[in-house]
Structure 1
C-alpha cells in the first residue's frame, strides 16, 4: 500500500519501550536527564511566521529511536504477563525517525480490542503492527507511526495501550501513557487532539470501557474535549447494521453525552484507509494544538503523577474496589456466625474458604495501592529535571543530545 499523497510509504512504527534488563547500545550515554529521552534536539526549518497554522509552527527537529519490534505473545498469557513478556524481549533497532518542526502528534486511544493497531496500520505500507483483535490485545506500549499528510505536515499517530479494568495492568498503562505525553510536551512536540476508538460490536459498556472513558477525560481535561473525536469502529463486523445504530445512539445519549456537549465530535470509521484519513484530517482542521491536562499538571505545575487527575482517578477506583471487598467480608462474617448457631460445619468451612479469598484480595489491593504511591513519589525529582530542561530549551536555547539508553532508563528504571 502506498500513501495517497505520493510521498511514499511511511517507515515502520517506533516504540517508547524498554526494560531495565536490556543493555543499550555501547555508543549511547545511559544517564541523561529524564523526559528528554530519545530526542536529539536541534534547530532549523521554517520560522513560525512562515507557518500560519499553529499546528505547523515551531517545534524542534530531532530523532526518535525504536527499541524493539512488536512481539508475538503466547495465547495463554494473562494481560499482565504480556506486558512483562514484551519488556523482557531482546532490543532490536529500527530506522530512526527524525522530527520536523511541522510534526504533530495524534494519540489513538481506546480500550484493548477497539482496533487501535488496525487503525494506524492503514497508514503503513505493510502490516507492521501487532493487530489487537483479541480482548487481551497485543499492544502494551506506546508506538509511533508517521503519516505524511502533505508536503509540510507529517502526523505522528500514537498507538497507546488501553486500560483493562485490572488494577495492576492499568498502573502500567498510566505510567506508559503519562511518560510519553510528558516526553513529547517537554520537547515542544505539538498534540493536535485525540482520536478515541470504540468497538461498535460490543453489546454493553463494561467496567473496562467505562474506565477508559474516565481516564480519557482525566488525561485530556475538560477544556480539551473539543479536540477529541469519539469514533465508532468495526461496523463491518456487525451481524445486523441496525444493532450498531442503536448502540451508537445509546453512546451519544448516555455515555458520550457530556463529552459531546463540551465540543467532542462523533464519527464512524468504516475500516478503510480513506475513512481513517478523513478522521485524522477532521482533527487537523481544528487547527489549534492542545496541552493535555496530564502534560500541564506534571511538566508545567510540577505535580507528582499521584496528584494528577488521572492518578487520583485510578487510585479512587482501587479504593472503591477495596471497600466493596470489605463490605462482602462483613456480610460473610454474619453468615458465618449464623452457620455456627445452626451447627452447619460444612457450610462454615465453605464460608471460611471464601473469607480467606476475600482477605487475600484486600491484601493484594493494599499492596498495589502502596506500590502506586511509592512509584508516583519517585517521579518528583524527574519532574524537576523536565522543567529545568524545558527552561534551558526555551530561554537558553540549549540543544540536548539524548540517545536510546535514556529511554531504557526512563521507562523502566523509574517506573518498574
Structure 2
C-alpha cells in the first residue's frame, strides 16, 4: 500500500494594502503567472488561496483582506474571513499552520490602524500560537540608509509595551523579506518548521468559544472589537458636534455668490460623510452584540486554527 499524501500546510498572510502580499505569494509559489492585483478581489474582498508544492510538501497560502480597509469595519472583515474559510472547508480537517505578517518599512509604524490590526491578531491567536508567527518586513530595496532603518525596526521590536511586544515575548520571528523567491521561501520554511515543532495548543478564541453559552461579543476578540467601535463612535460623534458649530448661514445654501454656495455644500458633504460613518459603526456595534448566530461556524473554524 502506498504512502498517504501529506496534508497541505496552511499559512495565512496578512498585511496592510501595499505591503506586498500578492507579490510574496507569487515569489514563494514560483507562480510567475500570478500578477500583482490577482489576489484580493476589490469587489468581494474574499480571501484567495494559492496552492503549490515546496520541498515536496503541499502548501496553501491564503491571502486575506487587510484590517485597514476604510470601507468596512474590522467586524465585517473578520466575519468574511471566517465564513470563507468555513465555506472552503479549511475548518474541517485542515488546520492552519502559521501566519505571516508583512510590514512595509516605509509605512507609518505608529499608525492607529497598525496598532489596531496587531491587537486584533493577538486576541485571535493568544500567546500559545505566537511561535508560529513570522513578522516579515518589506520594501528594503527602496532605502538609501538601510542601517538607520534596521536600528529603528530592531528598537521597535524590542520596545516593551510596543506594537510587537507580545509577539516577541511569545517567540514570534522577526525577519526581512528581500522581495526574491529565495527570501519568500525561506520565510515560508520558517513557518513550516515552527509548526512542525510547536505543541498542539489551543488558541485563545477557540478556548473562549468552547465555553458554554458565551457570546462572540464576550470573547477577548469581541471585547476588543467592541472597544474599537465605541472609540470610533465617540470620536465621530464629537466631530459631528464640532462640525455643527461650523455650519454656514442658511442663506448660503441658495446664495447668488458661488463662493458662499460652495462653502455650504462643502460643509453639508462633510456632515453627510460623518453621519454615514457614525451610522456604520453603530450598525456594526449592534451586529457585534448579536453575533451569536455565527458561533457554531466560528467554533468549527477556530477549533482547528493552529491546533
State the TM-score, normalized to the length of structure 1. Answer: 0.56
Work out which of the residue numbers 144, 148, 161 in structure 1 matches 2:65: 161
**What displacement does 1:246 show?**
3.6
Give deviations 1:40-82, integer Å, cap 9, x for gaps.
xxxx975xxxxxxxxxxxxxxxxxxxxxxxxxxxxxxxxxxxx
Say which SS state the counterpart of residue 102 (structure 1) adopts.
Answer: coil
Aligned partners of 2:111, 2:37: CA distance in 1, in Å? 18
Partner of 1:57: none
Maintained 8 Å contact 1:110/1:198: yes
Maintained 8 Å contact 2:29/2:53: no
Partner of 2:144: 239
Q: Which structure 2 residues correspond to residues 281-292 of structure 1 after superposition, within 5 A?
A: 281-286=189-194, 287-288=197-198, 291-292=202-203
Maintained 8 Å contact 1:141/1:160: yes
Work out which of the residue numbers 173, 177, 188 in structure 1 matches 2:77: 173
Maintained 8 Å contact 2:226/2:288: no
Residue 213, structure 1, aligned to residue 213, structure 2: no
Say which SS state the counterpart of residue 166 (structure 2) adopts.
Answer: helix
Residue 316, structure 1, aligned to residue 227, structure 2: yes
Q: Which structure 2 residues correspond to residues 129-168 of structure 1 after superposition, within 5 A?
A: 129-131=34-36, 140-151=45-56, 153-164=57-68, 166=70, 168=72
Partner of 1:268: 176
**What displacement does 1:129 show?**
3.6
Q: Which structure 2 residues correspond to residues 71-150 of structure 1 after superposition, within 5 A?
A: 101-131=6-36, 140-150=45-55
Change (3 A) 1:175 1:369: same
Residue 371, structure 1, aligned to residue 279, structure 2: no
Aligned partners of 1:388, 1:333: CA distance in 2, in Å? 47
Say which SS state the counterpart of residue 105 (structure 1) adopts.
Answer: strand
Partner of 1:30: none
Say which SS state the counterpart of residue 255 (structure 1) adopts.
Answer: coil
Say which SS state the counterpart of residue 192 (structure 1) adopts.
Answer: strand
How many residues are aligned here?
Answer: 287
Gaps of 5+ in 1: 1-43, 47-99, 340-347, 392-416
Maintained 8 Å contact 1:193/1:290: no
Give deviations 1:82-118, integer Å, cap 9, x for gaps.
xxxxxxxxxxxxxxxxxx5522211111111111111
CA RMSD of aligned residues (A): 4.2
Give deviations 1:324-363, integer Å, cap 9, x for gaps.
2333444556778xx9xxxxxxxx9999878756654553
Gaps of 5+ in 2: 250-259
Determine which structure has the larger helix proportion and give its number.
2
Say which SS state the counterpart of residue 226 (structure 1) adopts.
Answer: helix
Change (3 A) 1:182 1:190: same
Maintained 8 Å contact 2:49/2:62: yes
Aligned partners of 2:25, 2:230: CA distance in 1, in Å? 35
